[in-house]
Amino acid sequence: MQTGTRAAAQEDLNLWNIVSRQFDRAAATMDLPEGLLRQIKACNAVYYVQFPVRFGDRYEIFEGWRAEHSQHRKPTKGGIRYSEMVTQDEIMALAALMTYKCAIVDVPFGGSKGGICFNPKKYTRDQVEKITRRYTAELVRKNFIGPGINVPAPDLGTGEQEMAWIADTFEALTPGHVDSLASVTGKPVTQGGIRGRKEATGRGVQYGIREAFKHKADLKKFGLSGGLEGKRVAIQGFGNVGYHVAKFLSEEDGCRIVAIGDVAGGVINRDGLNINHLSEYRDMTGGLKGFPGGKDLPGPRDVLEAECDILVPAALENQITLENVDRIRTKMVAEAANGPTTPGADERLNQRGVMIIPDIYLNAGGVTVSYFEWTKNLSHIRYGRMEKRLDEIYRDRLVQTIEQVTGRTVADKQRRELLKGADEVDLVNSGLEGSMQNAYREIREALLADPRLGDLRTAAFAVAITKVARSYMELGVFP
Ligand code: NAD
């Protein structure tokens, strides 16, 4: 047997190769034509561009990509990443994960992903705006963006602001399109966004973990029991996804968040961190270090080694590797980030009896609510606007009837709760919860039906491949 260090040094960290291996493992258990499997796995198109941006009297050249992994459903859909570590293989792999993710949660999109190789933290807001608008113009020029073609969303290093710039640039370059706002999702609510989108990936992670905890017999195999109340959680990443997972699991499920880390280190407190205080501290100081409510963790990966019941990697890929896997002390890895666990580490965790809820399922909340935003933009009306008042009138009649029949009066507070019709965010969260529940059950049933699949990740890939294959077979292939 190789030593941990030697095996780690030899580990292939190329995300495209990793996703391909995960695909092959599931495909090997499936009875589908070889050519069809090859087509599903391939990345159909990649646009690579170098573009100049002028800052004052100097020019800087940026490298950008947009990959369309599969167009079996249109539009294609996927985030845009701003990071110095972006490569073409990474973008292709993330686009592939999007295809499988959409299939798993029954969102009718193909997979796409984009990125620009730069660190936005090293640029001013005006400079990031210029880079974003220029990149969008390149996508428009090559037909890699549009409500029926390819619809970006936020990812690592991007958020609502970038999406608003993208929407505005698209509109300016293709004037007169009534559906322009549907060219990108994750926009601010005041710019055609949808309530609940910013929190959606974190919400989806919460719903996915909750669902896993409903299947007690499954959990027992991994040494887990009871509910979420009091469970110790460690989270790598305190950005959009990590922050919301921490907030929801602590405030709504009674979990104890014992450690949180980001790019510059982390903080640990076995009695639980106060997430609101930590978030305020981070906003004030720009980092987690020195937070008075906990003890500092020096390195960005130290948080992964904190003893916990649930470990949530919510930063970036290749974080749990053969190098650190043996020091990881958790019962469950809930993959909020894309590709956080290398295949070698994945195998080791499975052998050790650690439950892994895979990324292609668990972080699908973002794209699910992006789908709701896209349909909202196409219908040009906010969810709930037509029915909310009517719903309240019907509820009022029902309460009055109950009062008449029983001869008792419903207290004011209860009445208010009973009468309240659903707002947009209620509808979004209920649609998201239903999608995450159904998808988990489908993956679980696939695993129970075919034990050769072995784990939830392979089962999730099998579910996705089955759905994409069905779509290809029903459509045929254009000559
Ligand atoms: P973000 O930019 O808002 O936050 C990223 C966090 O990771 C920050 O706290 C940052 O400090 C930390 N980080 C960055 N590099 C790190 C490193 N080397 N070591 C440790 N921490 C590091 O990004 P996000 O939107 O929260 O995305 C996080 C992950 O979730 C990514 O893998 C992304 O692909 C995935 N994801 C995001 C969405 C979404 O809707 N935003 C949807 C699906 C999946």
The domains located in the chain, with CATH, are 43-191 (3.40.50.10860), 200-362 (3.40.50.720)
**3-state class (DSSP) for residue 260:** strand
State mean pLDDT over 358-375: 98
Element (H, E) at 466: helix 456-475
Sign of the alpha-carbon torsion through 79, 239, 463, 208: negative
**3-state class (DSSP) for residue 408:** coil
Atom of ligand 1 nearest to the CA of 339: 32
For residues 463 and 457, what is the distance between their CA atoms, to the nearest angstrom? 10
In the prediction, which pLDDT does 96 show?
98
If you ran DSSP here, which 8-state letter would residue 362 be given?
H
Pocket test for ligand 1, best of 104, 236, 262 (most atoms within 8 A of CB): 262
pLDDT band at 397 (very low <50, low <70, confident <90, very high): very high
Does the Cβ of 157 fall within 6 Å of ligand 1? yes
Nearest CA among 380, 255, 257 for reference residue 314: 257
Q: Cβ contacts of residue 249 below 8 Å, gap of 6+?
A: 206, 209, 228, 233, 255, 257
Determine contact, residues 368/105, Cβ cutoff 8 Å. Answer: yes
Cα 328 from chain centroid?
Answer: 23
Phi/psi for 269 (5° steps) reads -155, 110
Q: How far is the CA of 62 from the centre of ligand 1 (A)?
A: 21
**3-state class (DSSP) for residue 301:** coil
State mean pLDDT over 45-59: 97
Pocket test for ligand 1, best of 263, 283, 320, 359 (most atoms within 8 A of CB): 263
In angstroms, what CA-CA distances link 348 with 238, 339, 342?
27, 16, 10
Does the Cβ of 236 fall within 6 Å of ligand 1? yes
Residue 7 has pLDDT above 90, yes or no: no
Residue 93 has pLDDT above 90, yes or no: yes
Residue 9 has pLDDT above 90, yes or no: no
The DSSP result for 19-50, as a single string, is HHHHHHHHHTTS---HHHHHHHHS--EEEEEE
Sign of the alpha-carbon torsion through 95, 98, 103, 108: negative
Q: How far is the CA of 347 from the centre of ligand 1 (A)?
A: 24
In the prediction, which pLDDT does 95 show?
98
Helical spans, DSSP H, in 105-159: 125-141
Atom of ligand 1 nearest to the CA of 158: 2
In the prediction, which pLDDT does 374 show?
98
Determine contact, residues 410/398, Cβ cutoff 8 Å. Answer: no
For residues 209 and 229, what is the distance between their CA atoms, to the nearest angstrom? 12
Q: How far is the CA of 63 from the centre of ligand 1 (A)?
A: 20
Q: How far is the CA of 315 from the centre of ligand 1 (A)?
A: 4
Q: How far is the CA of 309 from the centre of ligand 1 (A)?
A: 21
Q: How far is the CA of 78 from the centre of ligand 1 (A)?
A: 15
Element (H, E) at 78: strand 76-82
Classify residue 374 by burial, with Cβ atoms within 10 Å: 0-12, 13-18, 19+: buried
In the prediction, which pLDDT does 30 show?
96
Going by CA atoms, what residue is nearest to atom 40 of ligand 1?
A: 366
Pocket test for ligand 1, best of 77, 235, 240 (most atoms within 8 A of CB): 240
Does the Cβ of 399 fall within 6 Å of ligand 1? no
Phi/psi for 310 (5° steps) reads -130, 120
Going by CA atoms, what residue is nearest to atom 39 of ligand 1?
A: 155
Does the Cβ of 363 fall within 6 Å of ligand 1? yes
pLDDT band at 1 (very low <50, low <70, confident <90, very high): very low
In the prediction, which pLDDT does 10 show?
85
Active site members: 113
Determine contact, residues 421/395, Cβ cutoff 8 Å. Answer: yes
- Angle formed by the axes of helices 424-449 and 197-212, to 10°? 40
Residue 4 has pLDDT above 70, yes or no: no
Q: How far is the CA of 343 from the centre of ligand 1 (A)?
A: 20
Pocket test for ligand 1, best of 151, 155, 305, 362 (most atoms within 8 A of CB): 155
Hey, what are 347's tokens? 């195998």
Going by CA atoms, what residue is nearest to atom 17 of ligand 1?
A: 263
**CA gyration radius, the chain:** 23
Going by CA atoms, what residue is nearest to atom 23 of ligand 1?
A: 156
Atom of ligand 1 nearest to the CA of 94: 34
Q: What is the pLDDT of residues 105-128, one digit of tens each?
A: 999 999 999 999 999 999 999 999
Residue 479 has pLDDT above 60, yes or no: no
Determine contact, residues 215/189, Cβ cutoff 8 Å. Answer: no
For residues 210 and 253, what is the distance between their CA atoms, to the nearest angstrom? 9
In the prediction, which pLDDT does 5 show?
66
